[in-house]
Amino acid sequence: MSEERFRIALKNAAVMVFSQDLQLRYTWTNSSGPFFRKNLGRTDAEIFSGDEGARLTAIKEEVLRTGIEAHTEIAVTIQGKERFFDLIARPARARGKLVGVLSSAVETTPLKEMIFRLQQALDEVQVLRGLLPICASCKKIKDEHETWQVLEKYLQDHTQAKFSHGICPDCMRKLYPEYCSQE
């Protein structure tokens, strides 16, 4: 009964579980997808290209050599798309004897994509805050590099604001009184 519950839980779980023998050939997986079924009996080096296969093999060979569990993030290309996984690989034993590697992997690609989109959004939102030194006479601002620059340039560099120029009524009266009607 408990084995049947375990089988049902694994079948519906978001985690992929798989085992490999001492030659690191896949011997079992809880995933019923065609990608995994067609790769039973193959090694990571045979399934994944160059560096990806070599990295996975190295991780699992280290587990076999040391008998110590490995927990790492991996990136592999599956059906032409880069996908990310949180991988745990641990030594598999039967009656105390090392027989291979038992691993679990949770895909983190959607999380990575969401983090990327959020970072892009944050990069687009530029917020001015804090104390900005401004010259009382010429109105230049001292930036984060201790350089004095024109207020408009600083704001354009740090926000999405664009400027056009005009003259306020007070300055118009002060600078160009001849163009102002006398009230």
The predicted structure's pLDDT at residue 16: 87
- Cα(30)–Cα(15) distance, rounded to whole angstroms? 9
The 15-21 sheet, strands edge to edge: 26-29, 15-21, 97-107, 81-94, 70-78
The predicted structure's pLDDT at residue 129: 66
* Reported pTM: 0.62
**83 touches 75 (CB < 8 A):** yes
Domains of the chain: 2-109 (3.30.450.20), 126-179 (no CATH)
- The residue written with tokens 């090694």 in the block is 43
- Cα(76)–Cα(119) distance, rounded to whole angstroms? 23
CB neighbours (10 Å) of residue 66?
A: 10
The predicted structure's pLDDT at residue 161: 77
| Backbone angles phi and psi of 149, in degrees to 5 | -140, 160
- Cα(58)–Cα(12) distance, rounded to whole angstroms? 30
Sequential pLDDT tens for the chain (183 residues): 566 665 665 566 678 889 999 999 999 988 766 677 788 999 999 998 889 999 999 999 999 999 999 999 999 988 889 999 999 999 999 999 999 999 999 999 999 999 999 888 777 665 666 677 888 888 888 888 888 888 888 878 777 777 777 888 888 888 888 887 765
Identify the three-state secondary structure at position 53: helix
- Cα(118)–Cα(31) distance, rounded to whole angstroms? 31
Strands 141-142 and 148-149, sheet pairing: antiparallel
- Cα(172)–Cα(103) distance, rounded to whole angstroms? 76
